[in-house]
Structures are given as C-alpha cells and as structure tokens.
Amino acid sequence: MPIKLVRRTVALLLATACVPSSANAQTANATSQSVGSGAPASVDPLTVAIHIKDVERFAKVLSATNGRPRASDIQKGYLDNASYGVSVFTPGRIGDAARLANKVSADPALYGRAVRECLPRVKEATADLRAIYLALHGLLPDQPLPQIYVVIGAGNSGGTAGPGAQVIGLEVLCAENPSAVGFRIALRRFFAHETVHTFQQDISGVEKSPLLGEALIEGAADFIAALVTGEVPEPDRASWASQREGILWDQFQKDMPVSLATVQDNPPADAVKAVNRWLHNYKSAPPGWPSEAGYWVGMRIWTAYYAASTDKHRAIRDMLKWNNPELILRQSGYR
C-alpha cells in the first residue's frame, strides 16, 4: 500500500476501535512497514520480473522437512538472507521463525498448496505484470513503478508494501483464489490497483469527510486499474451495487457526516459502523452486502468526474492528488 497515504490515519483509528482487519490484499487494509533505507529501485516495465526466490527457498524447506519445518529450519532456510520483500513482511505479519513454524504446523496443507499449485501460476504472470506496467507507464510516465515480491507469511495478510515494493503473501492469495482463473485475476488486480496506491502520495484532507475520502482513494485505484486491465473490479459486487445505486447512495450520504467522528481519539461506535458499512469489512459486511462496497461508490464518483472532464489526462492526475473530497464530489456531478 502507499507509503505516506493519509487514508491510513482513518484506518488506524478504526483499528484502535477493535475493527477486524482483512487478510485479503484486495481490501487494502495492510499498512506499510518501516524497513530501513534499503528500498529497491523502480523498475522498467519492459523487463520487470516477479521476485520469487523467497518462496522457492521456502519450498525447499518444506520438502526437506516433509512439510513440518521447525523454527530453526525456517530461520536458516527462509528468513536468513531473505529478500527485501521478506523484510517488509516480517513486522506484524511473519513475526519470527517460531511463529511461522507454528502456523505451518497448524495448517500444512495451506502452505503445501501455495508452493505446489500457486507458485507455478505466479511464474506464468510475468507477461501480465509487464502489460499492466506498460499501460500504467504510458498513462503516468512520471510515476516510478515498484518491484513485486512474492513471499510466504503467517497466513494473515495477502499483501502490503514498503518503499519501492509491493509484497504478496502467497499462501493467503492462493487460499482465497483457489482456481487458476481466479488467481490470475487476483494477481492482475494486485498489480494494477495496489500500484496506483503507491502513486497517491499527495492526497490530503481525508479528515474533512473520512468515509468519502477513503472511498475516493480506493475508487481511484479501481478506476485506473479497470482502465489499464480492461477488467471490471469485483464484477459480482459491481453487478449487485448497480442494481441498487440509488438506495446505496442515499445510505452513503447519511453515513458521510456520521463518519466525521472517526477522526477522534476514541471514535463512537456509530461513526465506526458508518465507515465499516462500506470499508474495512472483508468477511464482515452487512448482511446481504458484498465486501467493500465503498470501493464501488468511489469508482462511480470518479467515473462521473472523468466523464465530465474535458481533459482526461488531467482527470487521471486529479485522482492521485487532491485535498478536498467534498469538492471532488461536487465537481463530479455524481447523482
């Protein structure tokens, strides 16, 4: 996820209110980690490759231990001399060798399937990554493109970022997308959506309307991802929401002023609920709702903004840098 993105202020406030976090990378709830000054250089979209050596080393550890590695095996064979991507994933996710060994022992099938079935699928995804990066580079040539690392974690995160890098938690992404087609779609969305977040470094003013601000951040990432991949993000969610657009917008408008209280140190329950109706609700959405419906609302606002703009390139740049979410809404003419 983005390194300085102000949306994390709201997310962290919600976390202090005991909001459950998602393991799914697509929910964008993972925060960036502090990993020192050794950030990798940006990549050339023509030659970018996915870093998989960490998972390959982990696979050797599994094979050598019949799928039951001890902490010492994981430390020596995986964590020692690991990549920058593992250093990003260690704080708050992997933790340490003992924690990871316990996780593998508790669910060896999860890890076995990740290296047996999904690692080969990752190896086939280079062409998708290059195509998406070429599209992003053509659209936004001044934006640096991050390295992509695939690692093994403790079953608690599908992805996050550090400076200059996107990091995928393979065992989680594999479990959540068991089919080859679903896994490919998830990877493509990760490459596009999460990379857009690294471009959103100059956004401010989310606290003026927290729910709207976060929805605009996620909606912009989905809009640009759809533009460069030609794929509708979460098509089942989009189909569900498009049939209820008026009702959803009425509820969203009611929840916007309530969400203002989430900027407090101890936000009231109704404010947290107002935000969590739309965001941060992977596997905990309201009954009958898809997860993260706020992404769809944000994308709809940006779709209207883009359609109304006479300078489409300027509209795209506006998705990456703004300081007043309510002004964006008014300028969009949405609803």
Same domain? 173 vs 228: no
Q: Give the mean model confidence (pLDDT) for residues 80-108.
A: 95
Instruction: Look at residue 160 in the predicted model and tell me its pLDDT.
Output: 84
Q: How confident is the model at residue 289 (pLDDT cuts 50, 70, 90)?
A: very high
Does any domain span residue 8? no
Of 1 and 109, the one with more pLDDT: 109
Does any domain span residue 307? yes
Does any domain span residue 20? no
Q: Which residue has the tokens 């990091």?
A: 167
pTM more than 0.95? no
Cα atoms in the Cβ-side hemisphere of radius 13 Å centred on 287: 0
Does any domain span residue 289? yes
Task: Give the count of beta carbons closer than 10 Å to the beta carbon of residue 164.
Answer: 20
Q: How confident is the model at residue 35 (pLDDT cuts 50, 70, 90)?
A: very low
Does any domain span residue 7? no
Q: How, if at all, do strands 147-151 and 159-162 pair? A: unpaired
Domain that holds residue 254: 206-332
Q: Average pLDDT, whole number, for the chain? A: 89
Does any domain span residue 10? no
- How far apart, in whole angstroms, are the C-alpha atoms of residue 212 and residue 206? 8
Same domain? 185 vs 49: yes
CB-based contact 7:197 (threshold 8 Å): no
Does any domain span residue 18? no
The total number of structural domains in the chain stands at 2
- How far apart, in whole angstroms, are the C-alpha atoms of residue 26 and residue 190? 7
Task: Give the count of beta carbons closer than 10 Å to the beta carbon of residue 77.
Answer: 20
Same domain? 85 vs 148: yes
Same domain? 99 vs 191: yes
Does any domain span residue 297? yes
Q: Tell which of 172, 199, 226 closes a domain.
A: 199
Same domain? 194 vs 249: no
Same domain? 307 vs 166: no
DSSP calls for 116-151: IIIHHHHHTTHHHHHHHHHHHHHH-TTSPPPEEEEE
Span 214-273, pLDDT tens digits: 999 999 999 999 999 999 999 999 999 999 999 999 999 999 999 999 999 999 999 999
Same domain? 108 vs 251: no
Q: Is 97 helix (H, G, I), strand (E, B) or coil?
A: helix
Span 178-224, pLDDT tens digits: 999 999 999 999 999 989 998 998 899 999 999 999 999 999 999 99
**Amino acid (1-letter code) at residue 304:** A
Span 152-172, pLDDT tens digits: 999 998 888 788 899 999 999
